[in-house]
Structure 1
């Protein structure tokens, strides 16, 4: 055998060995085996979580009835009060122009009253002697009595402007009284602060806020996609961030008729009465979450959502079912309620079907679907 023939033979042997190695590696890739899972019967609960806070059902703000300066604060935040308890007192700083005007009105009425008194005494003697008629005397007497009443009213107005009270019936305007029984949540002012009375043009300065801490409600928001499933009177569970591991029962009692746009999404306010546990002290403003059941179905045929695929063209959901010959067949399914893990199957598969678990799916596998 020539040298050239030996070289050619060696090349052929090398190619033959390489081919054997390539075919060996290719055949060593076993068939991808998929595990299967059958539909099962379970209870599916569709829930949503509303974020919000816990606040008192009844809360009021105490505002002064007169403009002045806080003279004394008698109670502290957190104190328990009964209706009528004194919280603070206000010292009046009178407006000089108003004070002068009120004093001038008193003086003018005194001048007129002096003349009316002289006329009354003179005509009384004339009436007693029969010089003037009773009707004429009664008119003079009425003028005199009206003058006395006008003087009294003017003097009261002057005292109110000067000290905040007329002097009769104590200083009601300068005393800040609790208008309900409860807990003082906040006193946003301090002694020496100037306060403004409540009127038609100004809400006035808040001196204290009081709430009944025995009656609390949950106030939160839900998305517009879920508000349609809410029903008043539904029992919900409220979890408070500051109290771990405890859920408080509550009853939904309000769903806002109008939504508010928050971050590009429309949300609706909800409220629920919370049943408190006396073992825990719930503070106003605690952040909280409410678990709300939107829909619940018992003993329905379901599969895990991870078994689903969606057709790229029709976007219909489907699964692959194991056939007798070991291959998988695509079957379109009709779905019902989902809880995010399991989904109800209304049509498409039976309890005995074995559905492919998409643990090693690839594009080539999808092409093999019948």
Structure 2
């Protein structure tokens, strides 16, 4: 009896499976929705990352070595040419100071001897014993030593105090350009080195014109060839949301640099500022650059495309009848990542298959 029940259950299960397969095979084939080509403006863009910096920056450096004695301005202050920024206290070099003092003593000895000869020759000249030429020669030597002594004394004062007079011209650090003080990398007590032919010197302050800002960024080598000087850009700042600043491309580097295995080219663009926003130097920024633009061209969505496995040519399937589609090879133009220009292969009247999207009728059938 148990065997009859078991075999009967298996038979019923087989009948149910056969009925299910029969219904599935009799179901209508999948119906795909279609979409037509359309006219669109295709804009291909690239994004360059970088920062916003002042067009003009001037580094202020001392004319003499020493120690910062006082800083009279703060970062963010507006200054004009000639304004005092800081003062430097000179710490003289002992060897140079000793050498300058020794030179003074040597010239004083020579001057004393020249003065004695000058006075002697003057008395002789007044008595008519020597010629005017001999007297003038001694007078010239005497005057030269007096001048040498003044120069030696001035050199000594410069080494000792940084200035030959009382004005302190070398120890007073003044602005050489008008603008905003954007950086003061030193503090009171810092030791600084003067700028000369062998040393760049210590930067005491950096002054920039904050009314003229530029975007400085980098683009990949695959896109730099498509850039055109004087092109329009839109610059977005990380510190200012929902605001784009117009800019004009002014510079494209003729030489690239390799970074992380890719060659990058520096670009610069003049940024048009908005008076409602204060742009600080060094803000991180992204610049959208239009590489190519096509107005009102025949386009389709890129999601409609497929690529041949052998030839890798792009194609779409165009509806030719009820649930029937024909493969059409297409020639493509500019793409913006969503829509792509179609040069050949389809017309605006063709119904193009939407891949992997069944019709609503099919969905209703499945629900029933």
Same fold (TM over 0.5): yes
CA distance, structure 1, for counterparts of residue 188 and residue 18 of structure 2? 98
2:33–2:357 Cα contact (<8 Å) kept = no
Which one of 274, 286, 290 corresponds to residue 277 of structure 1?
274
Mean alpha-carbon deviation: is it higher for 318-327 or for 251-260? 318-327
Q: Could you say which residue in structure 2 is the equivalent of 1:86? A: 84
Q: Could you say which residue in structure 1 is the equivalent of 2:64? A: 66
- Give a deviation string over 1:56-86, Cα, whole Å, max 9, x none: 0111111111111111111111111111000
Q: Could you say which residue in structure 2 is the equivalent of 1:337? A: 334
What SS does the aligned partner of 1:323 have?
A: strand
2:32–2:323 Cα contact (<8 Å) kept = no
CA distance, structure 2, for counterparts of residue 245 and residue 18 of structure 1? 62
Q: Could you say which residue in structure 2 is the equivalent of 1:45? A: 43
With over 3 angstroms needed to count, the CA separation of the structure-2 counterparts of 1:13 and 1:210, relative to structure 1, is closer
TM-score by length of structure 2 reads 0.91
1:32–1:360 Cα contact (<8 Å) kept = no
- Give a deviation string over 1:234-279, Cα, whole Å, max 9, x none: 1211111111111111111000111111221111111011111111
With over 3 angstroms needed to count, the CA separation of the structure-2 counterparts of 1:293 and 1:107, relative to structure 1, is same
Displacement of 1:103 in angstroms is 0.4
2:318–2:325 Cα contact (<8 Å) kept = yes
CA distance, structure 2, for counterparts of residue 93 and residue 12 of structure 1? 108
Displacement of 1:25 in angstroms is 3.5
CA distance, structure 1, for counterparts of residue 60 and residue 251 of structure 2? 27
Unaligned stretches of 5+ in structure 1? Answer: 362-370
CA distance, structure 2, for counterparts of residue 235 and residue 202 of structure 1? 41
What SS does the aligned partner of 1:303 have?
A: strand
- Give a deviation string over 1:152-174, Cα, whole Å, max 9, x none: 11001100110111116x11111
- Give a deviation string over 1:101-147, Cα, whole Å, max 9, x none: 10010010000001111111221222233322222222222111111
Q: Could you say which residue in structure 2 is the equivalent of 1:317? A: 314
Length, aligned pairs only: 355
Which one of 180, 200, 205 corresponds to residue 202 of structure 2?
205
1:94-109 alignment, distance < 5 Å: 94-109=92-107
The RMSD of aligned alpha carbons is 2.2
Which one of 301, 305, 313 corresponds to residue 304 of structure 1?
301
CA distance, structure 1, for counterparts of residue 57 and residue 152 of structure 2? 38
What SS does the aligned partner of 1:161 have?
A: helix
CA distance, structure 1, for counterparts of residue 26 and residue 169 of structure 2? 98
Mean alpha-carbon deviation: is it higher for 338-347 or for 139-148? 139-148
Which one of 350, 356, 359 corresponds to residue 356 of structure 2?
359
Show structure 1 runs of 4+ deviating over 4 A: 9-16
Q: Could you say which residue in structure 2 is the equivalent of 1:367? A: none
The reply to whether residue 30 of structure 1 matches residue 25 of structure 2 is no
Unaligned stretches of 5+ in structure 2? Answer: 359-368
With over 3 angstroms needed to count, the CA separation of the structure-2 counterparts of 1:188 and 1:21, relative to structure 1, is same
CA distance, structure 2, for counterparts of residue 12 and residue 298 of structure 1? 68
1:139-158 alignment, distance < 5 Å: 139-158=137-156
The reply to whether residue 254 of structure 1 matches residue 251 of structure 2 is yes
1:92–1:164 Cα contact (<8 Å) kept = yes
What SS does the aligned partner of 1:117 have?
A: helix
With over 3 angstroms needed to count, the CA separation of the structure-2 counterparts of 1:13 and 1:236, relative to structure 1, is closer
Displacement of 1:325 in angstroms is 4.7
CA distance, structure 1, for counterparts of residue 211 and residue 89 of structure 2? 34
The reply to whether residue 163 of structure 1 matches residue 161 of structure 2 is yes
1:126-141 alignment, distance < 5 Å: 126-141=124-139
CA distance, structure 2, for counterparts of residue 11 and residue 75 of structure 1? 98
